[in-house]
Chain A
Amino acid sequence: EIVMTQSPGTLSVSPGEGATLSCRASQAVSSNLAWYQQKPGQAPRLLIYRASTRANGIPARFSGSGSGAEFTLTISSLQSEDFAVYYCLQYYTWPRTFGQGTKVEIK
């Protein structure tokens, strides 16, 4: 199985600042990588698919990049509603695997 490793585990950011989240795969997954945001008590929400395509309704401050085994989610200027946990998911092969998550918290 492909292991997805996210870093850092926790990111402390002030509102208005940018944030860069990393997701690394134990083997190449092409561009078959999605990012999700989850807030406490809520279901995850799709942000990015195909490594860099924003899902419908996702603000432009969210951007994804990378291919192969290294991926990045960038939030250009954090708003209060962006403080949450973020997960990457590889859908290149079975079984699907998630990263362990990065919590973005208010500094």
Chain B
Amino acid sequence: QVQLVESGGGVVQPGRSLRLSCAASGFTFSSFGMHWVRQAPGKGLEWVAAIFADGNSKYYADSVKGRFSISRDNSRNTLYLQVTSLRGEDTAVYLCARESNSDWYIDSWGQGIQVTVSS
């Protein structure tokens, strides 16, 4: 059974940084691409970033490019999102998601972790 558990969120001041983690279990983590998606309060889903299974290719939404960095440690079955220069509009629930290994869609989701940017 696929499990994705996010951690590392909290309340942070504007301009500061945070590292989000996503612990994966129930599947061979190193064989799957992974994504981060966020959802601002009362809003829809916004795709944030993705990383290939081997970690060699990474993609970002324009809204976070240059400020956020996705990475993974396949030996620890963990996905990361380093978020820097945080702004109020980054306040959201951040969800970790797995990509299907037969196609490119997202097939599984974590429950998400809240990040609140506030002074």
Q: Give me the interface of A with B, judged by CB distance under 8 Å.
A: 1, 32, 34, 36, 38, 42-46, 49-50, 55, 85, 87, 89, 91, 94-101
Decide: A97 near B103, CB < 8 A? Known: A43-B109, A43-B110, A43-B111.
no
Interface size class of B (residues with CB under 8 A): 20 to 34
Whether the Cβ atoms of A87 and B60 lie closer than 8 Å is no
Please report the C-alpha to C-alpha distance between residue A93 and residue B13 in the assembled complex, in whole angstroms. 34
Whether the Cβ atoms of A96 and B45 lie closer than 8 Å is no
Whether the Cβ atoms of A43 and B44 lie closer than 8 Å is no
Beyond A46-B107, A91-B103, A94-B59: 8 further Cβ-contacts under 8 Å?
A36-B106, A42-B111, A43-B95, A43-B109, A44-B95, A45-B109, A96-B59, A101-B45
Please report the C-alpha to C-alpha distance between residue A82 and residue B104 in the assembled complex, in whole angstroms. 25
Whether the Cβ atoms of A44 and B47 lie closer than 8 Å is no
Please report the C-alpha to C-alpha distance between residue A1 and residue B46 in the assembled complex, in whole angstroms. 13
Whether the Cβ atoms of A98 and B46 lie closer than 8 Å is yes
Whether the Cβ atoms of B105 and A46 lie closer than 8 Å is yes
Whether the Cβ atoms of B103 and A49 lie closer than 8 Å is yes
Q: Inter-chain contact count A-B, CB under 8 Å? A: 61
Please report the C-alpha to C-alpha distance between residue A95 and residue B63 in the assembled complex, in whole angstroms. 11
Decide: A98 near B44, CB < 8 A? Known: A1-B62, A43-B112.
yes
22 contacts between A and B (CB under 8 A): A34-B106, A43-B111, A43-B112, A44-B109, A46-B107, A49-B103, A85-B44, A89-B45, A89-B47, A89-B105, A91-B103, A91-B105, A94-B50, A94-B59, A95-B47, A95-B59, A96-B35, A96-B50, A97-B47, A98-B37, A98-B44, A100-B44
- Say if the beta carbon of B100 comes within 8 Å of chain A: yes
Looking at the assembled complex, report how far the CB atom of B32 sits from the nearest CB atom of chain A, in whole angstroms: 14
Whether the Cβ atoms of B104 and A95 lie closer than 8 Å is no
Whether the Cβ atoms of B112 and A50 lie closer than 8 Å is no
Whether the Cβ atoms of B100 and A98 lie closer than 8 Å is no
